[in-house]
């Protein structure tokens, strides 16, 4: 997991009015909770863009005043119309306690079912991975080479490294090869020829 450096400023005022004032100054109200004391702070909106708009899962090295903490993004809140970041919750992490993080899925290989005229469909864009944050990968790479027409790949079919486990429902579909009209027509013609 890559690390992202972020500097925050402790805040003392709370409530909707204070948060609204901070957002006018292009600051994002944040909380960090988990292992130690909960801390409320602000970060510059421009500083968090690279943290939020990335396909990778990042660990965040936070510096809040004199305090340094390692964390992961737990929850993001966006404005429904403008799309601006309204609030960020961070979860403090260390190398002793496992944490669950949503990690993007990356498909690899050329599926057998696609060669037969099917269409590969990614059903789950992210998987919940539990483990020590330093061992959690940036992406879960899934090989779909053996996936035939009409077949699916479930969460239980994905192998993870030692110390890591997937927290999603075991029989949930991650990717599948769906039959298309062209593949159905080809199969019908093939059956008729026999």
CATH number of domain containing 140: 2.170.120.20
Tell me, yes or no, whether 9 and 76 share the same domain: yes
Full-model pTM: 0.77
The CATH number that applies at residue 74 is 2.40.240.10
Question: For 124-135, how does the pLDDT look when each residue is reduced to its tens digit (9 = 90+)?
Answer: 999 999 999 889
Residue 179 — left, alpha, or beta (φ > 0 → left; ψ -120 to 50 → alpha)? beta
Tell me, yes or no, whether 85 and 112 share the same domain: no
Q: What is the Cα–Cα distance from 191 to 174, expressed in whole angstroms?
A: 30
Strands annotated E in the chain = 2-10, 27-33, 39-44, 58-64, 67-78, 85-92, 99-108, 119-122, 126-131, 140-143, 152-154, 165-166, 173-178
Beta-strand pair 85-92/152-154: unpaired
- Which structural domain range is residue 173 located in? 100-193
Tell me, yes or no, whether 58 and 124 share the same domain: no
Among 94, 117, 133, give the residue marking a domain's end.
94
Question: For 33-88, how does the pLDDT look when each residue is reduced to its tens digit (9 = 90+)?
Answer: 887 788 889 898 888 888 888 878 888 998 888 888 999 988 898 989 988 888 89
Tell me, yes or no, whether 106 and 83 share the same domain: no
Q: How many domains does the chain have?
A: 2
């Amino acid at each position: 997991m890559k690390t992202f450096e972020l500097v925050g400023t402790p805040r003392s005022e709370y409530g909707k009015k204070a948060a609204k004032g901070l957002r006018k100054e292009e600051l994002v109200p944040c909380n960090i909770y988990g292992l130690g004391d909960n801390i409320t702070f602000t970060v510059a909106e421009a500083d968090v863009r690279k943290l939020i708009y990335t396909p990778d899962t990042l660990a965040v090295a936070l510096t809040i005043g004199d305090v340094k903490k390692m964390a992961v993004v737990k929850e993001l809140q966006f404005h429904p119309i403008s799309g601006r970041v309204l609030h960020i919750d961070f979860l403090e992490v260390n190398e002793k306690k496992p944490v669950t993080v949503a990690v993007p899925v990356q498909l690899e290989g050329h599926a057998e079912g696609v060669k037969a005229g099917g269409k590969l469909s990614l059903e789950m864009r992210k998987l919940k991975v539990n483990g020590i944050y330093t061992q959690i990968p940036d992406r879960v790479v899934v090989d779909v080479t053996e996936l035939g027409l009409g077949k699916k790949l479930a969460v239980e079919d994905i192998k993870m490294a030692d110390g890591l486990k997937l927290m999603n429902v075991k029989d949930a579909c991650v990717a599948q090869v769906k039959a298309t009209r062209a593949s159905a027509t080809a199969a019908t013609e093939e059956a008729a020829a026999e």
